[in-house]
Structure formats: structure tokens, C-alpha cells
Amino acid sequence: MKALEKVKDLDLIQLIRDFGERGEKAWELLRENRVKRYTFKPSGRTVWIVVGREGDHLIYPAVGYCGCDDFYFSVMEGKALVCQHLIAQRLAERLGWFDTVEESDELFDVLMNDWRFLKIENASGKSSEVRTAVELKR
């Protein structure tokens, strides 16, 4: 695999040094092929998704946004620079190590509506859906 050749040059120790546990988790996501680039036809629209433990996370690489809880509660509050999903997406894109999924434009709105929600679990274990920060700005 072409991506594996590039990984030899990747300094994983530096990745972990720079990002700590988030860097390690990002590497796991990459190794487990959890980074997906959806391309919608015929428009050519592209959407990045990282499949996490809690579900699919919508990534906006151009603005450094992820739809995960860690981004919402840690990155947005200044406790962390990035989440593991953003790190994984950037590594995947740079290495060319991601799954490509092609879908028709007819499914774009359906999938985006699903990806735009955060699932928040309260202390009692009950979960609810809230719109992501990106969706709230609309």
C-alpha cells in the first residue's frame, strides 16, 4: 500500500509528543481505516467523516472543525487545540490513507442531516440530540 511507504517517514513519537493521547488515538483511527472521504456524484461535493466510538463525526478540514463531543467541550473551550478526529483526518489526507465512498447527490441531504447532530449523554445515561455548532450558526 502506497500509504504504508509514507508512514515510514512519519515520526510517530513526535505525533504523540505533540498531541499526547489524542495523537495516539488518531493513529489508531487511521490504522483501523476509520477515515472516510465521501464524494457525491455528479456534483463532486466532498465530505470527510471519521468513524469514532460514539458514531460518525463530520469534519470540516478547511476550518478545523469536528462534530465530536471532545471538540465541542474541549477545543471550543480552549482546553485542547484539536480532537483526535481532526488529527486523523489530516494524517489520512496527507498520506492518502482513507476509504473513498461514492454516493449520489440524492443522498447528500439525508446523510448531512444525520451527521450534523451531536448525541449528548447526560449523567443518568439518557442521550439526546442537539445540533452541532456549525448547524446552530445557520
Q: What confidence tens digit (pLDDT) does each residue in 80-126 have?
A: 999 999 999 999 998 899 999 999 999 999 999 888 875 555 455 55
Q: What confidence tens digit (pLDDT) does each residue in 30-77 have?
A: 999 999 999 999 999 999 999 988 889 999 999 999 999 999 999 999
Split into its structural domains, the chain has a count of: 1
- Residue 98 has what DSSP assignment? S
* Residue 37 CB-half CA count within 13 A: 18
Pair type for strands 55-60 and 65-66: antiparallel
Q: What confidence tens digit (pLDDT) does each residue in 4-33 have?
A: 445 545 567 777 778 899 999 999 999 999
* Residue 5 CB-half CA count within 13 A: 3
Per-residue pLDDT, 11: 65
24 vs 136, more confident: 24
Non-local (6+) Cβ contacts of 135 within 8 A are 116, 117
Model confidence at 1: pLDDT above 50:
no
Per-residue pLDDT, 16: 77
Domain enclosing residue 54, as ranges:
2-136
